[in-house]
Amino acid sequence: MRILLGVSGGIAVYKAAELTRELQRRGAEVQVVMTAGAERFVTPLTFAGLSGRQVLTSLWEPAVDEAASGEAGQFDIEHIRVAQEVDAVVIAPATANTIAKLAHGLANDLLSTICLATTAPLLVAPAMNVNMWRHVATQENVATLRGRGVRVIEPGAGYLACGMVGEGRLAEVDQIADAAFWAVKEAGRKRDDLAGEVVLITAGGTQESIDPVRFLGNRSSGKMGVAVAQAAVARGAKVVLVTAAGADASLRCEQVVVGTAAEMQRAVMERLPEATVVVMAAAVADYRVKEVAVQKLKKRDSMVLELERNEDILRRVVEEKRQGTVVIGFAAETERILEEGRRKLREKGVDAVVANDVSRADSGFEVDRNAGTLLMRDAEVELPASSKREMAERILDYVGAMRAVPVGLGF
Ligand code: CTP
């Protein structure tokens, strides 16, 4: 796999060095292209040393050892050659200026020219000051790029080099490498094994209102459900995501944003008739507050909240679904993971349960990685520690198999 790593000028350039290493560690050949701004922060020698290849920096000077300039008429135009050879272009860090140039189709340096000339997937990982990131101009440019199918790897929040705190930090190296590999796989495979399927997915932790400003919630971030949605979209399915974690701008599918379990239930039941696959990744609150206060509650010495049971959406789904619709539940557990998962598989009448241990710091709630076991009626498959996207793909591999087998036969 050949990845072109475009490095534009920002303090996060040093992380691009780590990214070069990570991409290579995963088996990619990395060709680095630096903008003039990037060269102000780090010399090309750093990246040449890491990648083992000459770093390309100029539109006007062909690379010494690689631009074929031999026979008459065979002179390769460097930026076109490079643009055609790579499997993905990843720009990290992508400055506000680089993003603006891409959005407007400028081609006044090597990197921006390659971006116009390539047909490979393009990914940008922005890094900049929080105000620059939030500026309407940048946000509009990012939206333009997304609309064209460019994958934007959202910056994280935290302490920024400028001394401010907020969004603008380059995404984690692992996350960028993951996105690059998935982009290449998607482009290469042209997978459409879920074409014709309608996949209904729930995500996030429901929020049960206490009063107009407070709620009871849980630690689910919605990332697993979003990963399943991304994977299902990439495999050609029509996807409806019912999410209690807010809409995800990177998703190219219908999203229904809900708050409480009751709202989630309404949205799911409304969409169920058209679904052929249901994946319940949401952490649905088992209880709601019996009497939600109309006005904000005032503090007192102690207080008792009376809770009442929410209906189990998954059970309702199993009761009311069309014949042949595949239903997958999640069991987020902290102990006796497999036993609990198997019990839920039996008791809820679903086709499969993804049992995962949410007590671990490196997988489960809130983080980008996960691990677990896919429990089906006739088989159990280990889902080793991986990114949530990778885990989502594995789960969907089996959905295909479950749908392919005539109802009632198992597999
Ligand atoms: N679920 C649901 N509706 C609920 C609660 C959970 O649809 N009211 C779904 C979740 O989306 C998930 C699965 O059921 O797919 C989780 O199983 P569940 O039995 O709810 O887990 P726990 O609440 O943790 O159950 P227990 O208290 O029995 O461990």
Examine the domain organization and report whether 212 and 181 are in the same domain: no
Examine the domain organization and report whether 281 and 165 are in the same domain: no
Check pocket membership of 284 for ligand 1, CB cut-off 6 A.
yes
pLDDT tens track of the chain, all 411 residues? 899 999 999 999 999 999 999 999 999 999 999 999 999 999 999 999 999 999 999 988 765 544 444 444 445 577 788 888 899 999 999 999 999 999 999 999 999 999 999 989 999 999 999 999 999 999 999 999 998 889 999 999 988 888 888 899 999 999 999 999 988 887 765 568 899 999 999 999 999 999 999 999 999 999 999 999 999 998 889 999 999 999 998 898 999 999 999 999 999 999 999 999 999 999 999 999 999 999 999 999 999 999 999 999 999 999 999 999 999 999 999 899 999 999 999 999 999 999 998 887 777 777 888 889 999 988 898 888 888 988 998 899 888 778 765 444 433
Check pocket membership of 329 for ligand 1, CB cut-off 6 A.
yes
Examine the domain organization and report whether 207 and 167 are in the same domain: no
Q: Give me the helices (H) in 197-353, please.
A: 223-234, 261-271, 313-320, 337-348
Q: For the range 339-344, what are the long-range contacts, defined as Cβ-Cβ under 8 Å and sequence gap of 24 or more?
A: 341/373, 341/375, 342/375
The count of structural domains within the chain is 2
Q: Is 253 a catalytic residue?
A: no
Check pocket membership of 286 for ligand 1, CB cut-off 6 A.
yes
CB 122: neighbour CB atoms within 10 A? Answer: 22
Examine the domain organization and report whether 284 and 151 are in the same domain: no
CB 121: neighbour CB atoms within 10 A? Answer: 22
What is the whole-number distance in angstroms between the Cα of residue 338 and the centre of ligand 1?
A: 15
Check pocket membership of 127 for ligand 1, CB cut-off 6 A.
no
Per-residue CA distances from 298 to 209, 289, 305 (Å): 15, 17, 14
Examine the domain organization and report whether 163 and 206 are in the same domain: no
Look at ligand 1, atom 4, and give the residue with the nearest C-alpha.
312
Residue 142 — φ and ψ, nearest 5°? -60, -45
The verdict on residue 410 lying in a domain is no
Examine the domain organization and report whether 229 and 365 are in the same domain: yes
- Among the atoms of ligand 1, which is closest to the Cα of residue 310? 8
Which CATH number do you get for residue 33? 3.40.50.1950
The verdict on residue 272 lying in a domain is yes
357: β partners: 333
Whole-angstrom distance, CA of residue 191 vs CA of residue 401: 15
The verdict on residue 266 lying in a domain is yes
- Among the atoms of ligand 1, which is closest to the Cα of residue 316? 7
Check pocket membership of 268 for ligand 1, CB cut-off 6 A.
no
What pLDDT score does 76 carry?
Answer: 59
What pLDDT score does 384 carry?
Answer: 82
Whole-angstrom distance, CA of residue 401 vs CA of residue 346: 20
The helix (H) or strand (E) run that includes residue 238 is strand 238-243
Examine the domain organization and report whether 244 and 154 are in the same domain: no
Examine the domain organization and report whether 240 and 215 are in the same domain: yes
Q: In what order do the strands lie in the sheet with 88-94?
A: 29-34, 2-7, 88-94, 122-126, 151-152
What is the whole-number distance in angstroms between the Cα of residue 377 and the centre of ligand 1?
A: 18
Check pocket membership of 239 for ligand 1, CB cut-off 6 A.
no
The residues, ordered by sequence, that sit 6+ positions from 393 with a Cβ below 8 Å of its Cβ are 231
332: β partners: 356
Whole-angstrom distance, CA of residue 99 vs CA of residue 108: 13
The residue from 136, 155, 188 where one domain ends is 188
Q: SS3 for 59?
A: coil
Which CATH number do you get for residue 345? 3.40.50.10300
Examine the domain organization and report whether 150 and 282 are in the same domain: no
Examine the domain organization and report whether 140 and 225 are in the same domain: no
What pLDDT score does 351 carry?
Answer: 95
The verdict on residue 390 lying in a domain is yes
The verdict on residue 88 lying in a domain is yes
Whole-angstrom distance, CA of residue 19 vs CA of residue 22: 5
Tell me which of 63, 117, 162, 307 is the catalytic residue. Answer: 162
**98 closest CA partner among 34, 49, 52, 45:** 34
What is the whole-number distance in angstroms between the Cα of residue 284 and the centre of ligand 1?
A: 6
| Residue 325 belongs to domain spanning | 198-404
What is the whole-number distance in angstroms between the Cα of residue 230 and the centre of ligand 1?
A: 23
The verdict on residue 409 lying in a domain is no
The verdict on residue 411 lying in a domain is no
- Pocket mutation for ligand 1, best pick of 313, 316, 328 (most atoms within 8 Å of C-beta): 313
Look at ligand 1, atom 23, and give the residue with the nearest C-alpha.
286
- CA–centroid distance for 231 within its chain: 9
Tokens standing for residue 370: 């996960």
Examine the domain organization and report whether 215 and 181 are in the same domain: no
The residue from 157, 188, 219 where one domain ends is 188
What is the whole-number distance in angstroms between the Cα of residue 282 and the centre of ligand 1?
A: 9
Examine the domain organization and report whether 179 and 212 are in the same domain: no
The residue from 128, 163, 188 where one domain ends is 188
Check pocket membership of 350 for ligand 1, CB cut-off 6 A.
no
Q: Which residue bears the tokens 């599918």?
A: 253
234: β partners: none
The verdict on residue 328 lying in a domain is yes
What is the whole-number distance in angstroms between the Cα of residue 256 and the centre of ligand 1?
A: 20
